[in-house]
Amino acid sequence: MRIAVLVSGHGSNLQALLDAKLSGEIVGVLSNRSNAYALERAKQANIDTAVISHQDFPTRESFDARMHQQLLTWHVDLVVLAGFMRILTPDFVKKWEGRMLNIHPSLLPAYKGMHTHQRVLNTGDRLHGCTVHFVTAELDAGQAIAQAILSVSSHDTIETLAQRVHQLEHFIYPQVVQYFCSKQLIWNNHQVYLNNQPLLKPIRFLD
């Protein structure tokens, strides 16, 4: 299984994937930002990198087409979004349907989009966490595969939640990627299967 990881920033999830014992191989790290620290991590792990800046392309379509080309060059089987901060076009998503994963810092379907920790605190939720899901054209709406859940304490701030959720992310993302690499996790015709059983709700991990 040849894996590409798409990043825009710090890359702590990339690091967790690099450190995990995956049966697949991370063959390339693609960033839309040349200053993403994730690129350093990839270089230190001797992994091929590509910087494709969205600012160099007139449209989302042309940017996505260039990314697609890069993924084909790497002969990628699985695309892993790890803090990749661009909205993808439906055409690109379609090409990687069932072969592209994302991790999102909330218990989806709650809090799609940005500023999830702030929104959780504003609402006064007692539970928070992260979700790994297949990517579909609608933002943060693809089928959830796994969720890790934490209890929000009265002392939590945006910073502590960010840190606690990150820790959970580093725990569940490599596991789900490994399920995919070992073909325990399969997408077939809009249905997700885990160990040959239709996955009707996400696997849950409690902090």
Binding site for ligand GRF (CB under 6 A): 9-13, 82-83, 103-105, 130, 166, 169
Contact partners, residue 15, CB within 8 Å, separation at least 6? 41, 170
- Is 17 annotated as ligand-binding? no
Residue closer to ligand GRF, measured from CB, 190 or 204: 204
Least distance CB 68 / ligand GRF (angstroms): 21
Which of helix, strand or coil describes residue 41?
Answer: helix
Q: Where are the beta strands (DSSP E) in 78-198?
A: 78-81, 100-104, 127-134, 144-151, 185-188, 191-194, 197-198
The torsion angles phi and psi of 29, rounded to 5 degrees, stand at -125, 125
Q: Could you count the other beta carbons within 10 Å of the beta carbon of residue 155? A: 6
Least distance CB 106 / ligand GRF (angstroms): 8
CB 187 within 8 A of CB 180: no
Least distance CB 178 / ligand GRF (angstroms): 17
Omega of the bond leading into 109 within 30 degrees of 0 (cis):
yes
Query: Nearest residue to ligand GRF, using CB?
Result: 83
Least distance CB 104 / ligand GRF (angstroms): 5
Is residue 104 annotated as part of the catalytic site, yes or no? Answer: yes
Annotated catalytic residue within 10, 54, 68, 104 = 104
CB 119 within 8 A of CB 104: no
Residue closer to ligand GRF, measured from CB, 156 or 169: 169
Which of helix, strand or coil describes residue 92?
Answer: helix
Residue closer to ligand GRF, measured from CB, 41 or 89: 41
Contact partners, residue 154, CB within 8 Å, separation at least 6? none
Q: Enter the DSSP assignment of 58.
A: S
Residue closer to ligand GRF, measured from CB, 85 or 203: 85
- Is 47 annotated as ligand-binding? no
- Is 88 annotated as ligand-binding? yes
Annotated binding site: 11-13, 60, 85-88, 102
Annotated binding site for (6R)-10-formyltetrahydrofolate: 60, 85-88, 102
Residues known to be catalytic? 104
